[in-house]
Structure 1
Amino acid sequence: MSEAIFYKLAALISVVALGWFVGRMRWLGQPEPGGNDPARVLSNAAFYLFVPALLFRTTARLELAALPWLTLAGFFIPVLGLIVAVYFWQRSRLRAGAPVARPSVQAITVSFGNTLQIGVPLAASVFGETGLAIHITVVSLHALTILSLLTLLVELDLAREQAEAQGSSLLSTLLATVRNTVIHPVVLPVLSGLVFNALGLRLPALLDEVLQLLGTAVVPLCLTLIGMSLAYYGWPAAWRSVVLLALLKLLLLPALVLGFAHGVLGVGGMPLAVIVMLAALPSGSNALIFAQRYRCEEGETTAAIVLSTLAFVLTAPLWLALLSWMKF
């Protein structure tokens, strides 16, 4: 692992540790029983303000005609396939009384990678400017694709649960799902950005500057949030699930991308190496924001993010060595 990536990892862990210290000292206040704790307040700020600004700006500026669709398919089809598999697996094991958002929360933990704080310096240092360009292209669709699918799944589960409690019809359940999915702080800015893009409009300079400024707050805020969540929620008592989530993210997902992209679609060379390493990244902080949005498995998700980030120091060289041995 290069020195640049090591320092990025060290900086990331340092900010998380700083967030933990702030939460441990309760500098931002005590959690309220049955109410909002400071970590959730920060999560809401990210979910309702900073992340939507980032997503809208990204989709509004996306050059759809120039996208490498074969490479994107080689990455996103296995990723979305794993999301669906984990979702239905966890849903089949869901016990009575358990939060219905759990399958979706676990699915995002094993699929949403840390593509910015770790992914960008990794791609730049290992693959150079050409590889970094491919990485950024995939990242431009990363959040909007994964978050949109999982928002649809979790909102459908919540609407179904509410319908069963109230005795509502199937039609009203579907209408509630569509409404809650579209009018959502993740999906709505994505759809708005795509419409803006399709109309051939350009962001005014002032609006673009405002959106960029808001978007830059996502990374430090989310890293601090991970540390604060550790302080408020603690480490989960059951480690088996946390370890499994980390292994699925670090080992199974990149293996699926490698097998599908190369074996089925015939993607090779640098594009293949870039998307395999992108899939091998540790879980990203958006998984925690998603968990806190639906008040489900915040402690487990936080632990999985931290564990996968630490373990990435060991798994990243293994994947790089395998790709080098396979001459990609």
Structure 2
Amino acid sequence: MHETLYPFALIALIGVIFKRLYGNTELIKHSINVVVINVFLPALCIKTFARISLDREMLLVPVFAWLIILFSLTIGIFLSFLTQRLARIDKKDLGILIISSSFGNVLFIGVPVLNALYGSESIKYALLFDYFATSLIIWTLGVFILTYYSDKNSFSIKSSIKTILSLPPLWGIAIGLLLNLTGISLDNYIIESLDLLSKTVTPLMIFSVGLSLTLPNLKNILILLPFIITKLLLSPFFAIMITALFDFDASAKKAVIMESAMPVLLLLLIIVNRYKLNEQLTALAITISTVLSFFTLPFWAKVIEVYVK
């Protein structure tokens, strides 16, 4: 597993160095994220779902993802009450802490990790985990929590649904499934084009993560730590417990557990910026959890290797 993560760490480090050398890289990062979400990731979705074998695991993975995220949210809310009592923290930051405990970077880190560990067939589980669980919950319940604690009261279910339906990768999944179900075969040059576009996803995602990492603010690390522990340790532990109760494909189980162990969602930075909340605290949560994940992910990979057959 460490050998799998070394290339990712190196690419992320290049992103960090690039940011240090060129200063403000927000426009570059934004451009990379836009092109990945709108072009390269939809291509990966179409390619993946047009050729996969459809099975019941495709329905089970989002269900388990929902349960895991809701479990982590519950723990996060409980921890937020304790934090509010024990530490002096702005009420507006509590929502960020709760979300940090619950939503993982299942695309920008999850897709490359699953692909490296379990092969391209496992990518479909990462996409299902994200677009039928993480994205649905973060843009509805997640945004509601953030705005509730910020006192902005700007949550709109109509706006959330509109955002979800406008996600290009979701349409990529729909197109891929339509091609799969109708038995339509794409011409070779289209398949090769999709392959070429798909291959850019991993390095660009990891490089973007590197551009997002910041130097830690020691003052907030102790406040963040219980929430990050929930994300990196309690979530995957719960995933192991709940998937063990059901008999389904081992590769799907492995994917669900690994995805539940991912560090804090990179997209959270964009959402926090949209609602004018604490970007520094959010960036710190992403940075600390991402760095720690290079130690926790190999641990969970070993656990999965032993207990999931």
Question: Do these two structures clear the TM 0.5 threshold for a shared fold by scoring above it?
Answer: yes
- Matching residue of 2:86: none
- Pairing partner for 1:275 from 242, 253, 263: 253
Separation (CA, whole Å) in 1 of partners of 2:224 and 2:97: 13
Q: Report the CA distance shift for 1:139/1:44 in structure 2 as closer, same or farther (over 3 A).
A: closer
- Pairing partner for 1:208 from 181, 184, 191: 191
Q: Report the CA distance shift for 1:203/1:262 in structure 2 as closer, same or farther (over 3 A).
A: same
- Give the letter for the 2:67 counterpart: G
- Matching residue of 1:153: 140
Separation (CA, whole Å) in 2 of partners of 1:85 and 1:282: 11
- Tell me the secondary structure at the aligned position of residue 244 of structure 2: helix
- Give the letter for the 2:176 counterpart: G
- Matching residue of 1:80: 66
- Give the letter for the 1:149 counterpart: L
- Give the letter for the 1:44 counterpart: V
Separation (CA, whole Å) in 2 of partners of 1:318 and 1:118: 16
Separation (CA, whole Å) in 1 of partners of 2:171 and 2:178: 11
Aligned residues: 289
Please report how far the alpha carbon of residue 72 of structure 1 lies from its aligned counterpart in structure 2 after TM superposition. Answer: 6.3
Deviations 1:9-43 (A, max 9, x none): 222212211211111111xx535xxxx44333322
Q: Answer with 1 or 2: which has the greater Rg.
A: 1
CA contact (8 A) 1:242 1:300 kept: yes
- Tell me the secondary structure at the aligned position of residue 80 of structure 1: helix
- Matching residue of 2:113: 118
Q: Does 1:143 align with 2:139?
A: no
- Give the letter for the 1:302 counterpart: T
Separation (CA, whole Å) in 2 of partners of 1:158 and 1:319: 32
CA contact (8 A) 2:108 2:206 kept: no
CA contact (8 A) 2:216 2:284 kept: yes
Deviations 1:111-140 (A, max 9, x none): 66944433344347xxxxxxx86x456346
- Matching residue of 2:24: 30
- Matching residue of 1:235: 216
Q: Does 1:44 align with 2:48?
A: no
CA contact (8 A) 1:118 1:281 kept: no
- Tell me the secondary structure at the aligned position of residue 168 of structure 2: coil
TM-score (norm 2): 0.72
Q: Does 1:262 align with 2:244?
A: yes
- Matching residue of 1:251: 233
Separation (CA, whole Å) in 1 of partners of 2:196 and 2:94: 35
CA contact (8 A) 2:48 2:124 kept: no
User: Which 10-residue stretch deviates more, 213-222 or 87-96?
Assistant: 87-96
Q: Does 1:218 align with 2:174?
A: no
Separation (CA, whole Å) in 1 of partners of 2:144 and 2:203: 31
Separation (CA, whole Å) in 2 of partners of 1:277 and 1:166: 36
- Give the letter for the 2:34 counterpart: N
The percentage of aligned residue pairs carrying the same residue is 16
Cα root mean square deviation, aligned: 4.0
Separation (CA, whole Å) in 1 of partners of 2:263 and 2:201: 9
Separation (CA, whole Å) in 2 of partners of 1:199 and 1:159: 41
- Pairing partner for 1:14 from 10, 16, 25: 10
Please report how far the alpha carbon of residue 282 of structure 1 lies from its aligned counterpart in structure 2 after TM superposition. Answer: 7.9
- Matching residue of 1:184: 167
Separation (CA, whole Å) in 2 of partners of 1:204 and 1:22: 39
- Give the letter for the 1:39 counterpart: K
Separation (CA, whole Å) in 1 of partners of 2:142 and 2:231: 24
CA contact (8 A) 1:109 1:283 kept: yes
TM-score (norm 1): 0.68
Q: Does 1:56 align with 2:46?
A: yes
Q: Report the CA distance shift for 1:246/1:178 in structure 2 as closer, same or farther (over 3 A).
A: closer
